[in-house]
Structure 1
Amino acid sequence: MSAAVDPSRLSINQETIKQWSMTDLAAGCAEEGVTGVGLWRAQVQEYGVERTARLMRESGLTVTSLCRGGFFTDIGEAARARALDDNRAAVDEAATLGTDTLVLVSGGLPHGSKDLTGARERIADALAVLGPYAEERGVRLAIEPLHPMFAADRCVVSTLGQALDIAERFPAAQVGVVVDTYHLWWDDQAPAQIDRAGRGGRIHAFQLADWITPLPAGVLLGRGQLGDGSVDFKAFRALVDGAGYAGAIEVEIFNEDLWARDGGEVLRETARRFRAHA
C-alpha cells in the first residue's frame, strides 16, 4: 500500500473544468488551495500568452505543463515545415508561461498511409530539430503515448515503450514522456516501462483520468472522474513515485458531464477524489 498522496501535488488540467474562463480557473484554484494548473494552447492564445503568464504568477499558480505540441507525421515537406514552426511557437509559449514541459501528441497516420514505422520515424526527425531549440529555452518535450484506439487519427505512439524508444535517441533534458493512466492502464508492460523511464530521468509529466465504459461516440470525451472506473491509481502512483518522479500530478479529464456542472463543484470533487484515490 502506498503512502497517502501529498495533496499539494495536485494540478488541475484546464480541460477538466473547461467551462471556466482563464480568470475563473485562476481564481477558483487559488480559492481552493490548488497551486498547479496544466494549460492548453488554444485557451492561452485566446487570453494572451503574456497576460496568462502574469495572471498565473499573480494568482500564485505554477503552470505544470502546456498542451499540446506534436502532429509530426505528415509526409509533405510543406506540412512538416509548418508543424516545426508551430512547435517552435509552442515551446516559446511554454517558456513564457514558466513551465518546463510541453506535452506532445505525436500525430496519426497521414491520409491514405498505413506505414506506422515511417510515421514514427518522422516524429524522431522532428524531435531532432526541436529538442535543442526547446532545451535552449528551458523546456522539455514530453511524448504522450495514447491508447491504441487513437493510433490511426491522433497518435501512432501507443505504448510507453514506443515513446521511450523515440525519446531515448535524445538527451533526457530535451525529450521525455508522459505517464497518463487513461492511456496506459491496460498495458501489462507499463510497470517495467515506467521503471525504465524513471531510470533515464524521462518522466516529465504524470496525468490521471479514469477509464469508464461504455465509451461515448467519438471516444475522445470518455475520460472518467477519479474513482468512477477501472484504473488503480494508487498502484500507478506507487510505480511512478518508485521510479523517482516527485513532481505534480495532473488530473486531466475530458467529460461533457463534468463540463455541464458548476466548475467550483467539479474542482472540489476532483480534489476529494484525488486525496481518496491517488
Structure 2
Amino acid sequence: MSDNILSLNLATTRKQWGFAEAVDGCLRAGITAISPWRDQIAAIGIDEAARIVHSNGLRVTGHCRGGMFTAPDDAGRRAAIEDNFRAIDEAAALGADCLVMVVGGLPAGSRDLPGARKTVLDGLAAILPHARAAGVPIAIEPLHPMYAGDRACVNTIDQALDMCAELGDGVGVAIDVYHCWWDPNLAAAIARAGEMHCILAHHICDWLVPTRDLLLDRGMMGDGVIDLKAFRALIEAAGYHGPQEVEIFSAEDWWHRPGDEVLRTCIERFNSVC
C-alpha cells in the first residue's frame, strides 16, 4: 500500500513558526508528517518536542541534520562524531524515519576532495553502531556540487550509494530534487538506489530561473524548471512510495508569507504538479 503523503520540512516555515506553532499549523492544514531541524528541537527541548509528536500521532519523516564530519583536525572530527551521537538520540526520541546527513565540505584550508570524502566515510562508520543500536537509519543526502566546498562533498546519488555499499545495513540516501535534478545519470542512480533498498527520504521543492541565492531561494513546486512528475515516477519505479517532504528555503518570498498560506500552497502544488 502506498503511503505517499505530504510531509513538511519545518525549514519551510522556520521564519514564521517555532516547532510547536509549526505543528499546530500542520494539524490545521491536515498535514500529519513533519521533519524538524535540531535548532528547532533545542529551542523547545527534546522531551517536549517528543511529547508533542507522539501525543498528536505525527510521523517524523526525518530529523535534520547530522553530519559535518570534515573538521580540519582530530579534535574537531571527534567533536563532530559526539554531536552526531546526540543527533541520533534525538531522532530516536522523536521516532524519526531517519537522521538526514549533510556530511560536510572541504576542511578549512584544504583542496583535498577525495580526502574529505574519506573523512566522511570514516565518520559515518564511527557513528553507525550507535545508530543501529538506537534503531535510527542514517540517510546520506547528496548536495548539489555548488556545495562541495563548504557543505557537502558527497554530490551525487551514486557517490552516496557507494558509501552505503561500503558501510552496510542501516545507511541509505535522502534524495532531494533540488540537489539531484541536474544529474545526467539520475534515472540509473535512482534505479540503483531502489535495487539496494536505500531510498529513505524524498525531498521536493523547485529550482527557480533565475535563482537569486543558491542557498536561500528555493522555489515552491511548480514555480521552477524541475520536472517533478517525472522525478516522482523514477522514485516510485524504484519502489519508494513514502512521503514527499517539502523543504523550501526562501528568504525573499515564502518566509515572508503567513505560515497557513504557505501550507495551503504546498498542499495545492503537491496535488497538482508533483
Short-chain TM bin: over 0.9
For residues 264 and 61 of structure 1, what CA distance do their matches in structure 2 show?
A: 18
Q: Is the 8 A contact 1:7 1:275 kept in 2?
A: no
Q: Is the 8 A contact 1:30 1:61 kept in 2?
A: no
Q: Is 1:228–2:223 an aligned residue pair?
A: yes
**Identity across matched positions, percent:** 48
* 1:193-237 deviation per Cα after TM superposition (whole angstroms, max 9, x unaligned): 1111111111111000100022224x2102100000010111111
For residues 113 and 175 of structure 2, what CA distance do their matches in structure 1 show?
A: 22
Which residue identity does 1:13 align to in structure 2? N
Gap regions ≥5 residues in structure 2: none
Q: Is the 8 A contact 2:174 2:202 kept in 1?
A: yes
RMSD between superposed Cα atoms in Å: 1.2
Q: Is 1:143–2:140 an aligned residue pair?
A: yes
Match runs of 1:232-251 below 5 Å: 232-251=227-246
Q: Is the 8 A contact 2:3 2:242 kept in 1?
A: no
For residues 138 and 156 of structure 1, what CA distance do their matches in structure 2 show?
A: 26
Q: Is 1:184–2:183 an aligned residue pair?
A: no
Which residue identity does 1:109 align to in structure 2? L
Corresponding residue of 2:7: 11
Shift of 1:111: 1.3
* 1:243-263 deviation per Cα after TM superposition (whole angstroms, max 9, x unaligned): 111211100000021111100
* 1:125-144 deviation per Cα after TM superposition (whole angstroms, max 9, x unaligned): 11111111101101011111
For residues 168 and 8 of structure 1, what CA distance do their matches in structure 2 show?
A: 26
SS at match of 1:83: helix
Per the normalisation by structure 1, the TM-score is 0.95
Q: Is 1:59–2:63 an aligned residue pair?
A: no
Q: Is the 8 A contact 1:8 1:34 kept in 2?
A: no
Corresponding residue of 1:163: 160
Structure 1 consecutive aligned stretches of length 4 or more whose deviation exceeds 3 Å: none
Shift of 1:50: 1.1
Q: Is 1:90–2:79 an aligned residue pair?
A: no
Corresponding residue of 1:203: 199
Gap regions ≥5 residues in structure 1: 1-5
> Which residue among 208, 214, 236 is the counterpart of 1:212?
208
For residues 139 and 146 of structure 1, what CA distance do their matches in structure 2 show?
A: 21
Corresponding residue of 2:23: 26
Corresponding residue of 1:264: 260
Which residue identity does 1:69 align to in structure 2? G
Shift of 1:8: 5.9
Per the normalisation by structure 2, the TM-score is 0.96
For residues 71 and 22 of structure 1, what CA distance do their matches in structure 2 show?
A: 23
